Amino acid sequence: MRRALAWTAVVVTALLLQSTAFAQVKLLGAKPELMYLVTVLLAMMEGPSSGAIGGFSAGMAQDFLLNQPKGITALTLTLVGYVVGMARQYIVTPSPLLPVLLVAGATFGGVLFYGFVAFLLGQLSGVGFLLRTALLASVYNAALTPILYPALRRVTEASRARKVFRW
């Protein structure tokens, strides 16, 4: 419960920053995709089922602020959270670069998937623009990871229940 509340606060903060502060600090015209970043980090730390639930919720939160058909971001982030959570279980490297690489790869793939679904619904055109945005957003997200990863790890650890449950 405490963890869910903590992650809700993280999602709301990220949405606010994305539309205010980061709207003014763009990388060649692109904003970071903070919902993707939060989902990937959550999936890395909490596993595939939390990753999927977190991704779904974060995606829905973003979708309801958009004008496009709601649910596309939720669909994308559910899969991103699940895939990253699964992949994390099979990677054993202690490299500190791992979160950065996972965030970059998952953001790039996720934004492309989002663009593909939006394209199927007739919402998006221009492959060049999609590739460019996916690339810039993933670079931006990767650059933010070294700052956000330790902060979010502290959030999970501080909000972890005293007793350890398994389910």
Partners of 30 in the β-ladder: 27
143-162 residues in contact with other proteins (CB under 8 A) are none
Distance CA(157)–CA(163), nearest Å, equals 13
Binds other proteins by CB under 8 A, chosen from 118, 142, 148, 152: 118
Q: Determine the Cα–Cα distance for residues 159 and 167; give it in Å rounded to an integer.
A: 18
Of positions 38, 59, 104, 141, contacts other proteins by CB under 8 A:
59
Instruction: Give CA–CA dist 63/83, Å, rounded.
Output: 21
By the 8 A CB rule, do 14 and 35 touch?
Answer: yes
| Subset of residues 28 to 57 that bind other proteins, contact rule: CB under 8 A | 29-31, 33, 48-49, 52-53, 56
Can you give the binding site for other proteins, defined by CB under 8 A? 12, 15-21, 23-24, 29-31, 33, 48-49, 52-53, 56, 59-75, 78-79, 82, 111, 114-115, 117-118, 121, 123-126, 129, 133, 137
